[in-house]
Structure 1
Amino acid sequence: METRDWNEEKSYTSIVTAGSPQELKERRTACQSVLLEQLNVIPIEQWMLRVNAMHDLIAQTAVQICEAQMKEAGFGPPPCAYSFIVFGSAGRMEATLWSDQDNGLIVEGEPDVANNQYFKDFGAMLSDMLEEVGYEKCEGKVMCSEPMWRKTLPEWKKQLEGWANQLEWEPIRYLIISSDMRHVAGNTELSAEWLKALHHCFIDNGKLSTAVLRNTVRHKATLNLLGQVLTERFGDYAGGFDIKYGVYIPLLNIVRHLSLLHGITESSTLERIKILDEIHKYQHLEEIRRAFLTALRLRVNTPYNIENGLLTSSDYVAESDLKNKQLMSELRESLLLVRRIHRALQRQLRSAERK
């Protein structure tokens, strides 16, 4: 155990001393090898914290390398303060070893042509660098290379307010993505101001909460009428179960919705559950916590491939694993809980829409 801890510490230290994307990728690969040895040896919540600590160190180092390369390329140092932020599973500190990019930039001050050009180039370089290090580009384009996710603080505030006022599916989806924001590098004050602006949108705004609830209650059917687990019938994953969209995302959506209702600024699902529990207003939180830990454990144990030292996974529990009675029992129990809460939320939504 001592050797493992020492190796882990050594791996983390090596990340922050990387001087190029190639070195950073090599050190990521070495660090994730140590983490894979620890999988299912230590509690899943502890393992996830270690994995996400690695991702944060890689991102922070990539930001530093990117600044240095921009300077070498003749762009000079950053013209003003900025904050590199993450969304999605990274924002919730729930990223797997194969998670892709979900990030953005907050730039200090009012819009400025020169500053805008610098951070446009910086965002593109940083996103390319993260891809080189092993983080695939986000299919939904939630990246600092995209204008929607790279703005000055005043522009961000205006955009957040605009999404909150539209109440349509797509802008509410963007707002939900934003609500998982977490600061990783750069100026912390910009991130704090951004977060304050986001949560201000929800104060005494019942229509917005209802719109978020409308997005929350959508999920794929995972149990049939007899309460049996529905597996994929066709395709590459026939016989397998989609743990990401079947259990993990429905549970985090439920917790996120309740957290936004109460102005909880924590982004981690487990931390949100802990704070919600302190409110003493909701039942089933301990059941939700247990089901969520099950979802995390099953998700990081899905079959994966290794190519050039980097991992990829489909997020499907393999058909062979589903033959394990203990696993299937835990999965079914989690799905029954998700179905029960979703039905309650659907009733709540119908009531809110009638009003």
Structure 2
Amino acid sequence: MKLVNSTDCILDFSGISVASSWSQLKEQRIEYQTHLQQLRLTLTFLEWMTQVNLMHDLITTKALEICESDMLEAGYGPPPVPYSFIVFGSAGRMESTLWSDQDNGLIISNETNEFKDRYFEIFANLLCDQLAYLGYEKCLGKVMCSELLWRKTLMEWELTLTEWQSDMSWEPIRYLIIAADMRHIAGDQSLTVALKDLFYRGFKEVPELQYAILRNTVRHKATLNILGQVVTERFGDHAGGFDIKYGVYIPLVNFVRFMALQLDVRETTTKKRLQKLISLDSDNVLLESCQEAFDMAIKLRMSTPCTLSDGLLISSNYISEQELKNKTIMHELRESLGVIRRTHRALQRLLRFAERRKI
């Protein structure tokens, strides 16, 4: 283990590329996450997050390589047709923590092959099981390539997107919101490019989608009361604490994603979406505030307490009641929540305007 640049504290992740088994890959993940934890106070939070996500990408790419090797050894042969492995959620936005779970999918080539459905079913299940072994918990919402909904040929994906984009009910729109964060990791990148083109084409062909996305986005749990005080958890294991992920981070991500979709901004990360949006509307003070609040949200999210389980990190995403007594943390939290309140009001105004236009 060494640093590529001792001044910038950038890790050399070459150990991942030489891992040849699942156990070796898990050892590498544990070793690198330990070093990343040590670097947390040396790097800025955005620099640190970049390094964390680079590690995840390299581990996932190596996992795909080992999975293909296992399939070959088991007698299934190499992949019968090209495929692309994509990620969604925080991984798609390159905003994963050291304890993020799985959110992924497969795009399979339209090429004819009688064995491809069976091959990729076995491949996907093996991959998701082994990613869980490596510390990426399975998605509770089942957004994983082991699920048929997220494992399709490009032609099947096109049909599915058309179905989702013609149905304005809650669930299909939720799937579209998830798909908006897709990012290519490995395999045939042209398949990912084609799927993204199909995704954005749908938004141009079905203008009503903007309203449906807005309706889903505007739902928001109050995090400040009328006196401007932080609303903490009242009951349970986290009583007195505050959920940074769903109280601060997710509302900002949702707002920025909606604005990006509205203006056909095709960046994937929240930071790049914001930069592009600000370049398109430099007088928008709210977007500038969102940029500052997002930096705070990342800092607070990456700082939440975590514990070790089998050498891997787990976090509840909560700031504890004790930590909230820290004046700096509470000030940063209030500042961020104030911005979120303003974004929510802006979304509500847009929704009311859209509803009046429909009448």
Give the TM-score category using the shorter length.
over 0.9
Counterpart position of 1:127: 128
Q: Tell me the alpha carbon deviations over residues 319-354 of structure 1, each in whole angstroms, 9 at most, x when there is no partner.
A: 111111111111111111111121121121011012
Q: Could you tell me how far 1:7 is from its partner in structure 2?
A: 12
Measured in 2, the distance between the counterparts of 1:38 and 1:50 equals 10
Residues 271-329 of structure 1: per-residue CA shift (max 9 Å, x gap): 00011111026332221011011111111111111011100000001111111111111
CA distance in 1, matches of 2:200, 2:111: 22
1:164 Cα shift? Answer: 1.1
Cα distance change, pair 344–62 in 1 and its aligned pair in 2 (3 A): same
Give SS of 1:203's match.
helix
Q: Using the alignment, how far apart are the partners of 1:263 and 1:118 within structure 2?
A: 36
Question: Partner residue of 1:257?
Answer: 258
What's the counterpart of residue 354 of structure 1?
A: 356
Q: How far apart are the structure 2 equivalents of 1:18 and 1:189?
A: 28
Q: Indicate the SS of the match to 1:57.
A: helix
Partner of 2:65: 64
Aligned residue in 2 for 1:300: 302
Match of 1:101, SS?
Answer: coil
C-alpha contact (below 8 Å) 1:106/1:152 kept by paired residues: yes
**How far, CA to CA, are the matches of 1:31 and 1:323 in structure 2?**
32
The offset of 1:262, in angstroms, is: 1.5
Match status 1:73 vs 2:74: yes
Q: Which runs of 4+ in 1 moved over 3 A?
A: 1-11, 110-113
Alpha-carbon distance in structure 2 between the residues aligned to 1:164 and 1:211:
10
CA–CA distance in structure 2, aligned partners of residues 209 and 7 of structure 1: 42
Distance 2:113 2:320 in 1: 51
Alignment check: 8 A CA contact 1:15 1:57 kept: yes
Query: SS of the residue aligned with 1:232?
Result: coil
Change (3 A) 1:202 1:106: same
Q: Where do 5+ consecutive residues of structure 2 fail to align?
A: none
Q: 1:71 to 1:5 in 2, by over 3 A?
A: farther
Alignment RMSD, CA only? 1.7
- Deviation at 1:40? 2.9
- Secondary structure of the corresponding residue to residue 185 of structure 2: strand
Is the counterpart of residue 28 in structure 1 residue 19 in structure 2?
no
CA distance in 1 between partners of 2:198 and 2:164 (Å): 12
Matched letter for residue 225 of structure 2: N
Residue 147 (structure 1) aligns with? 148
Q: Is 1:91–1:180's contact at 8 Å kept on the other side of the alignment?
A: yes
For residue 42 of structure 2, give the secondary structure of its aligned residue in structure 1.
coil
Judge conservation of contact 2:99–2:314 (CA < 8 Å) in 1.
Answer: yes
Give the direction of change, closer, same or farther, for the CA distance of 1:319–1:119 in structure 2 (3 Å limit).
same
- Three-state SS of the structure 1 residue aligned to 2:13 is helix
Do the aligned partners of 2:81 and 2:113 also contact (CA within 8 Å) in 1?
Answer: no
Q: Please list the CA deviations of residues 33-86 of structure 1 after superposition, one character each: whole Å capped at 9, or x if unmatched.
A: 111011132111111110000000000000000000000000000001000000
Name the structure 1 match of 2:41: 40
When residues 165 and 207 of structure 1 are mapped into structure 2, their CA distance, relative to the original with a 3 A threshold, is same
1:332 maps to which residue? 334
Residue 138 of structure 1 deviates from its aligned partner by 0.5
Number of aligned residue pairs: 355
The 1:76–1:104 alpha-carbon spacing in structure 2 relative to 1, beyond 3 Å, is same
Report how far residue 204 of structure 1 moved: 5.2
Question: Residue 211 of structure 2 aligns to a residue in which SS?
Answer: helix
Residue type of the alignment partner of 1:57? L
Query: Secondary structure in 2 aligned to 1:201?
Result: helix
CA drift of 1:206 comes to 2.7
Q: What residue number does 2:138 align with? A: 137
Paired with 1:107 and 1:35, the residues of 2 have a C-alpha distance of 34
Calculate percent identity across the aligned residue pairs: 52
Identify the range of structure 1 (197-206 vs 23-32) with the bigger mean alpha-carbon deviation.
Answer: 197-206
Amino acid at match of 1:70: M
Shift of 1:201: 1.0
Contact 2:9 2:43 in 1 (8 A): no
SS at match of 2:63: helix
3-state SS, counterpart of residue 19 of structure 1: coil
Q: TM-score scaled by structure 2?
A: 0.95
Native 8 Å contact 1:127 1:145 kept in 2:
yes
Segment of structure 1 superposing worse, 281-290 or 6-15: 6-15
Shift in alpha-carbon separation, 1:321–1:156, aligned structure 2, 3 A: same
Distance 2:5 2:34 in 1: 11
**8 Å CA contact retained: 2:4, 2:10:** no
Within a 5 Å distance, the mapping from 1:181-260 to structure 2 comes to 181-203=182-204, 205-260=206-261
Structure 2: how far apart are the matches of 1:36 and 1:134? 16
Contact 1:111 1:152 survives alignment (8 Å): no
Q: 1: CA distance between counterparts of 2:112 and 2:136?
A: 29
Letter matched to residue 216 of structure 1: T
Displacement of 1:8 in angstroms is: 7.2
Q: Would the aligned equivalents of 2:324 and 2:330 in 1 still touch at CA under 8 Å?
A: yes
Contact 1:219 1:245 in 2 (8 A): no
Amino acid at match of 1:302: T
Provide the C-alpha distance between the structure 2 equivalents of 1:321 and 1:224, rounded to a whole number of angstroms.
20
TM-score (norm 1): 0.96
Q: The residue matched to 2:184 in structure 1 has which SS?
A: strand
Alignment partner, residue 321 of structure 1: 323
